[in-house]
Amino acid sequence: MSALPLSSSPTLREQSFANEDRPIGLIGSTGVVVFTASAAVLFGALLAAYLAVRAKQVIPMPALPWAFWISTGAVLISSLILEYSFRSSKLGHHLAAYRALLGATALNYMFFAVQAAGIVMLLQLSLPFRGTSQPLYIITLALLGLHLLHATGALVGLSLASLRSEKHHFTADNIGQIRPLKIYCHFLAGIWMVIFCVLIFANL
């Protein structure tokens, strides 16, 4: 009896990298990059307007509410944990990836709640802010509101990914499906850090 030929099928790790860029639905990594680039232009225009108005003003704006410091920590840690989840799935550590995905999702819920609370605090402090510069106050609210709106999309995506992963862990065959979500969440974390730093350091 002749020996059976060795299988030439790719290993689990090879399949992981081969399928890394598989799109989620009709929107793949390329679509998310195009969308985030468009959003970056919008955020950039608002930030440029903020800095232009701030450069003409002598008196700095009042300090931001403390809630924004907490939300900043939450979104940074969430971004790191999401990256860990993605890399763990690629390596076949599906349980660790699932737990990390849940942690990232929970931190995004925390970010959303604390960020919304910070905006409410900012609205309650409208008198001192508007007394300093009403245009800066309006641009600040526009930046915060626009970012929170985009964060809603990330929160929905993470929630759906967590629910799906609970029953069917992301494996080498479909890990690429959360890559667009990872890109989007990292983008939002980066944009928030830019907004936060501008609002803090431009008013020192």
Amino acid residing at 137? Y
Point out which residues pair with 27 in neighbouring strands. Answer: 24
CB 41 within 8 A of CB 101: no
Confidence category of residue 23, pLDDT binned at 50, 70, 90: very low
pLDDT in tens, 143-189: 999 999 999 999 999 998 888 876 655 655 556 668 888 999 999 99
Cα separation, 135 vs 139, in Å, equals: 6
The reported pLDDT for the residue numbered 179 is 85
2 in any annotated domain:
no
Domain harbouring 183, CATH code: 1.20.120.80
Encoded tokens for 193: 């850090």
84 in any annotated domain:
yes
Q: Count the domains in the chain.
A: 1
